[in-house]
Structure formats: structure tokens, C-alpha cells
Amino acid sequence: MKAAFIHQPGPPESIQYACLPEPEMSSNQILVEVMAVSVNPIDTYIRSGKVAMDLPSPFIVGCDFAGRVLQVGSQVTQFKPGDRVWGSNQGLLGRQGTFAERIAIDAQWAYKLPDEVSFESAAAVALVGITAHLGLFAEAGLQAGQTLFIPGGSGGVGSMVVQMASLHGAKVITTAGSPGKAERCRELGADEVILYREQSVEDSLKQVAPQGVDVWWETLREPDFDLAIGCLAPRGSMILMAGREARPCFPVGPFYVKQCQLRGFVMFGAPASQQAACASEIAGWLADGRITACIDRRLPLSEAGEAHRLQAENTVEGRGVLAGKIVLTP
Ligand SMILES: NC(=O)c1ccc[n+]([C@@H]2O[C@H](COP(=O)([O-])OP(=O)(O)OC[C@H]3O[C@@H](n4cnc5c(N)ncnc54)[C@H](OP(=O)(O)O)[C@@H]3O)[C@@H](O)[C@H]2O)c1
């Protein structure tokens, strides 16, 4: 079968697209015919070696997938051949990735996909959607009527957080790097959009949320705690989930005097059962159109290297080349 893989960490060009042996399926796994995958920033960190993980060799890149079940292992009861499935959590922690024509994955990491939801949408939403759900509801405990701020409302995570927070009845404030992206953020449900390349985020936030924001979801890899804590409401929460190398200054006094909270999380640290519950709710929202996948572009799987280059340019270099996800199809 065809797959996109590396033999050792390196630049995007180190991804080869060639034939590999068919995956071997164990008794707790399902064999999936992959119909769509998407790229996440973590894929690029693992591929480059920036995030060191034990990798099988060859290592097939990619976390997210959507496809059809071809076979089920003897211990698997929840799926049958022909089922439409989707999920994430592959290509991590020693697991083989998803950028291949067929993949064998533990059944606990696969979720049923309603007929109304396309494979491309499911692949685009998998990691970022589960991240948004975990962060908003399990970590931040977002309540209807609260005010939430997230930079990058048209980004992978941002577009999911904006939609789910808005659906939940929060007032959502976000940022965008261009008027076109700002328009997209409003379509997704943002109440206020700050054009961060032209406007001061601090001044704009003080104008649109004079009492402060209840939840500050930081997506930037270099958080500015002076800015965030200055803009939090008393007893506000800040979510951290990006910027592994960041070592910013932290204004201790303003933080505790305001009685704020700081929570960090990583989606792949959540148990499979918790992620499955998030995925089930997300699939329902996608099926009835309450949330939508934000796909910037579609590429063939053979262009996995180019997809990694674009994703890193967007997330690591902040070049604003994407507005949403890159989806690839075998
Ligand atoms: N902890 C976890 O479980 C977890 C899960 C998923 C992702 N992450 C991390 O979260 C981060 C975001 O991921 P993603 O998939 O959303 O990436 P992405 O799709 O590349 O989005 C990045 C966003 O950041 C915005 N941005 C860049 N520089 C900015 C600035 N100076 N001010 C305001 N906005 C700025 C961009 O907005 P414009 O295009 O408008 O400029 C873009 O929307 C990554 O570091 C990723 O590794 C962590």
C-alpha cells in the first residue's frame, strides 16, 4: 500500500511517499481503509524531531483519519466491516500514523461517523475538535454567558473553540490576521474580532470586554502573561496548550490578587473513554450542521511533504498562509 513516512526525523522533504507492507492487525484493532487525513502542528514537530517520541521505523506520519472499516479483530465488538469511522491519537506515543491507504488502529481510538458527515470534514475536525471540547468543558468549565477570548479564530484549534463556545452560549472574542479571516471568524460565531496586525489586542479587549474575559484560551506559542492576566476578569481562567519551549515572564501578583486560575492540558493525555465522549458529541454537532469543518485546502496524500511545509510555515513561523486545515486523500 502507499503511505507517507520517514525513516528518521528531518525536514518536510524527508517524508517519502512510497509502498510499504500492509499493516498487521491485532485482536483489539480494526483495519481501516483511509478516505481522508489532516495535518496538525504536532505532526510537524514529531516529523522534525522537535518533539522527541519513540517512533517505529519506518514511521508513517499523521494523527487524524476518517475511513471505512475493512476488518475487525476478534476482540472488537463495537465495529463491523463497512462502518464509517473517524478519530485521532495515532502517530503518537509509539503508535504508527495515519497517512496511508490502510491503517490498523486500536478500536478505542475510533468513533462511528454519521452518514451526514463527510470523511474530509471528520478528518479535519478530529484532533482540533476533541482538543476544543476537552479544553472548553472539562478544563475551563465554560458557562453560558461567560466571555471567552482566543487568538487565531480561523486556525485549526481556534475555529473549533469559536464554534463550540458560541454554541454553548458564550460571548466569543477572537483575533484574525486579515479582514477575510475576520469575516470567516464571524461566520463561525465570533461576536468580536480584533485585527491583531493593525489593532492593539489590549485596547480592543478593554473596549469590548470592559469587565475582563472569563476564559483566555492561549493558542500562541509565546504567551504574553502580562497581557492575558491584565485582560482576565477576577477569578478568570487561562488555558495553556501550546509553546513547549516558551519560558515567558509571569506576573505573580496580578494573577493571584485577581484569584485567577491557570490550566494546561494536552489532548492526547486524556483517556480514550473521555475522548470518545467528546467525539460522539462533536459527530452529532457536525451531522446537524451546528459546527462545521474549516478546510483551507485539499491535497493528494502524495503531497504530504508540501502539507507539512505549509503547516509549519503557518503555525511555527506565523506567516498566515492557512485559514483552517489541510486535508489529504489517498
Ligand atoms: N495541547 C494540545 O492538546 C494541542 C492540540 C492542538 C494544537 N495544539 C497547539 O496549538 C497551537 C495552535 O494549533 P492550530 O492547529 O490551531 O494551529 P494553526 O491552524 O496553524 O493556527 C494558528 C493560528 O495562530 C494565529 N496566529 C499566529 N500568530 C499570531 C499572533 N501573533 N497573534 C494572533 N494570532 C496569531 C493564526 O492566525 P492568522 O492566520 O489570523 O494570522 C492562526 O489562526 C499549536 O502550537 C499546536 O501545536 C495543542
Distance between CA atoms of 257 and 260, rounded to whole angstroms? 8
Contact 126, 134 (CB under 8 A): no
**What is the Å distance from ligand 1's center to 31 Cα?**
32
Q: Note the pTM of the prediction, 2 decimals.
A: 0.98
Atom of ligand 1 nearest to the CA of 45: 47
Pinpoint the alpha helices (H) of the chain: 41-48, 119-133, 156-167, 179-188, 201-208, 225-231, 252-257, 272-287, 304-315
Pairing of strands 147-150, 213-218: parallel
DSSP H or E stretch at residue 218: strand 213-218
Query: Ligand 1 test: best mutation among 39, 157, 201, most atoms within 8 Å of CB?
Result: 157
Q: Going by CA atoms, what residue is nearest to atom 18 of ligand 1?
A: 155
Give the distance, in angstroms, between the CA of residue 310 and the centroid of all CA atoms in the same chain.
Answer: 16
**pLDDT for 74-132, tens place per residue?**
999 999 999 999 999 999 999 999 999 999 999 999 999 999 999 999 999 999 999 99
- Give every strand in the sheet of 16-19, ordered side by side: 16-19, 2-6, 59-60
Distance between CA atoms of 171 and 238, rounded to whole angstroms? 16
Distance between CA atoms of 113 and 284, rounded to whole angstroms? 9
3-state SS assignment for residue 164: helix
CATH number of 2-125+272-329: 3.90.180.10
Atom of ligand 1 nearest to the CA of 135: 3
- Closest-CA residue to 327 (of 316, 284, 310): 310
Q: Going by CA atoms, what residue is nearest to atom 15 of ligand 1?
A: 156
pLDDT over 90 for what percent of the chain? 99
Distance between CA atoms of 126 and 104, rounded to whole angstroms? 17
3-state SS assignment for residue 227: helix
Q: Going by CA atoms, what residue is nearest to atom 35 of ligand 1?
A: 152
Distance between CA atoms of 208 and 296, rounded to whole angstroms? 29
Split at pLDDT 50, 70, 90, the class of 137 is very high
- Tell me how crowded residue 87 is: count the other CB atoms within 10 A of its CB: 29
Q: Which residues is 175 bridged to in the sheet? A: 194
**What is the Å distance from ligand 1's center to 28 Cα?**
34
**pLDDT for 177-196, tens place per residue?**
999 999 999 999 999 999 99
**What is the Å distance from ligand 1's center to 315 Cα?**
6
pLDDT at 319: 96
Interhelix angle 156-167/119-133, nearest 10 degrees: 70
DSSP H or E stretch at residue 171: strand 171-176
* Ligand 1, CB cutoff 6 Å, lining residues: 40-42, 127-128, 131, 151-152, 154-158, 175-177, 181, 196, 219-221, 241-242, 266-267, 314-315, 318, 320, 322
- Closest-CA residue to 134 (of 105, 114, 112, 160): 160
Atom of ligand 1 nearest to the CA of 321: 39
Give residue limits of the domains in the chain. Answer: 2-125+272-329, 128-267
3-state SS assignment for residue 3: strand
Name the CATH superfamily for 128-267.
NAD(P)-binding Rossmann-like Domain (3.40.50.720)
